[in-house]
């Protein structure tokens, strides 16, 4: 089988076989060349113009290497050899349904990109190529892996605590942004991965050897640092808040249909917005006249669950933003609330093979000398997440009143809006 070599700034040479090349040459995959990996982060880090295209190639590269290492150690004995080709294809296609500008549109209620991927993978050009190359059941098997719903012992390589997607994007994002936060002991992690019997279910699954615990810690700290300094950087979130609001306005006004969003590239969507729904928010984003912080509050200072309606109810948030702007003597669209959608810093719940051959879950108190990584992960997550108010011009905003508003339930906020009562109590 012929092999193509693609030069990559992170991993150097990426080897692509004929099957993968047919997928790469498809129209849906080529769209990823024009969808930036980090959304609007290039407005802060100019080098962050890399795309979902090279990230997908990087995930495929790591899948190929990891499967080779597992095979050399005999960890794949008893697993259908055809499963490896399915896993490599899943790694390549895991982001095929991504919207323009990263995850921002999912924060305003657009279907998750993994759901968008389903018709692309199971039908049309990609579906046909997958069936011809890997069998009639290949598209559905690949989708199950992408969605984390597969019974395959190799599921953890595609969606899991230490999936290959995380390893590539953390390394690649840090490298392209020019920041020193993505230092992960990749070689140690890949060489420590194995297939083991889950100590609870007895099913075959991806685990790691005990010697990889320090490498797992490097993965956790890298993700925390990237969220704190890049993904949730205050200026990145200001640009993201602008983008979310102008797209939400275009959708609610009928200028755009939600079903169209996944077919656009980054610049294609901005061009359509300029044509169909021109606005001063769009021009502010295009010219990098970003809103400034009026106040910010870390999640650690909010009660459990406080402010979650700001992250999960975009239509309500838009109403609140406009009411707050009015109460502060500002125009509609001059004030934006931002509380990043709740995510998992690092969902660590995987089997660890001890030096004596026994297998424990990483959460087990019997795992001597290990940092409590799941607990630490939650602590780091809450310290990186901030509630912010962005404004178009310098404005005094009462911190206690905004915090009190965030602590209300969504129903309480709706009642205040309906009764024309002030939100700044």
Residue-by-residue DSSP string for 272-336? HHHHHS--HHHHHHHTT-PPEEEEEEEGGGS-TTTTHHHHH-HHHHHHHHHHHHHHTT--TTSEE
C-alpha to C-alpha distances, 374 to 17, 183, 350, nearest whole angstrom: 38, 20, 11
User: What would the pLDDT profile of 360-378 be if each residue is shown by its tens digit?
Assistant: 888 777 765 555 666 777 7
Is 22:28 a contact under the CB 8 Å cutoff? no
pLDDT band of 380, cuts 50, 70, 90: confident
- Give the model confidence (pLDDT) of 94-142 as tens digits: 999 999 998 899 999 888 888 999 999 999 999 999 999 999 999 999 9
Q: Distance (Å, rounded) from C-alpha 49 to C-alpha 53?
A: 11
At residue 373, the pLDDT reads 65
User: Lowest-confidence range among 32-36, 251-255, 298-302?
Assistant: 298-302
pLDDT one-digit tens code per residue, 157-176: 999 888 999 999 999 999 99
Per-residue pLDDT tens over the stretch 197-245: 988 888 999 999 988 888 888 888 898 899 999 999 999 999 999 999 9
What pTM value is reported for the model?
0.94
Residue 231, CA distances (Å) to 4, 41, 45, 76, 198 in order: 33, 7, 11, 36, 33
| CB burial readout 169-195, b (16+ within 10 A) else e | bbbbbbebbebebbebbbebbbbbbbb
Q: In the chain, what are the domains? A: 3-231 (1.10.3210.10), 234-342+384-418 (1.20.1250)
């Amino acid at each position: 089988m012929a092999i193509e070599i693609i030069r990559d700034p992170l991993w150097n040479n990426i080897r692509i076989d004929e099957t993968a090349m047919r997928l790469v040459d498809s129209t849906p995959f080529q769209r990823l060349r024009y969808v930036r990996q980090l959304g609007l982060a290039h407005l802060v880090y100019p080098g962050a113009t890399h795309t979902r295209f090279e990230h997908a190639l990087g995930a495929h590269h790591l899948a190929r290497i990891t499967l080779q290492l597992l095979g050399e150690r005999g960890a794949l004995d008893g697993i259908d050899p055809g499963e490896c080709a399915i896993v490599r294809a899943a790694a390549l296609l895991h982001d095929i349904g991504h919207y323009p500008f990263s995850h921002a549109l999912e924060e305003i209620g657009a279907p998750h990109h993994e759901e968008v991927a389903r018709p692309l993978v199971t039908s049309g050009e990609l579906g046909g190529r997958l069936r011809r190359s890997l069998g009639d059941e290949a598209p559905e098997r690949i989708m199950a892996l992408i969605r984390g719903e597969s019974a395959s012992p190799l599921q953890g390589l595609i969606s899991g605590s230490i999936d290959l997607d995380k390893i590539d994007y953390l390394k690649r994002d840090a490298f392209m942004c020019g920041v020193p936060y993505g230092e992960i002991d990749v070689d140690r992690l890949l060489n420590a991965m194995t297939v083991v019997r889950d100590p609870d279910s007895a099913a075959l699954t991806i685990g790691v050897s005990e010697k990889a615990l320090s490498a797992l810690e490097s993965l956790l700290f890298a993700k925390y640092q990237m969220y704190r300094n890049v993904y949730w950087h205050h200026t990145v979130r200001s640009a993201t808040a602008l983008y979310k609001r102008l797209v939400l306005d275009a959708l609610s006004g009928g200028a755009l249909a939600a079903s169209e969003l996944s077919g656009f590239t980054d610049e294609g969507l901005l061009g359509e917005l300029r044509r169909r729904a021109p606005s001063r928010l769009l021009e502010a984003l295009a010219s990098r006249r970003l809103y400034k912080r009026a106040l910010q509050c870390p999640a650690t200072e909010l009660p459990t669950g406080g402010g979650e309606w700001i992250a999960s109810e975009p239509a309500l948030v838009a109403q609140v933003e406009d009411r707050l702007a009015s109460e502060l003597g500002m125009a509609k669209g001059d004030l934006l609330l931002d509380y990043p959608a709740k995510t998992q810093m690092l969902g660590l719940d995987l089997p660890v093979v001890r030096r004596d051959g026994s297998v424990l879950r990483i959460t087990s108190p019997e795992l001597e000398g290990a940092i409590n990584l799941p607990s630490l992960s939650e602590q780091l997550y809450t310290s990186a997440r901030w509630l912010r108010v962005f404004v178009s011009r310098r404005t005094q905003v009462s911190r206690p009143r905004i915090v009190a508003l965030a602590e209300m339930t969504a129903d309480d906020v709706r009642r205040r809006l309906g009764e024309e009562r002030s939100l700044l109590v």
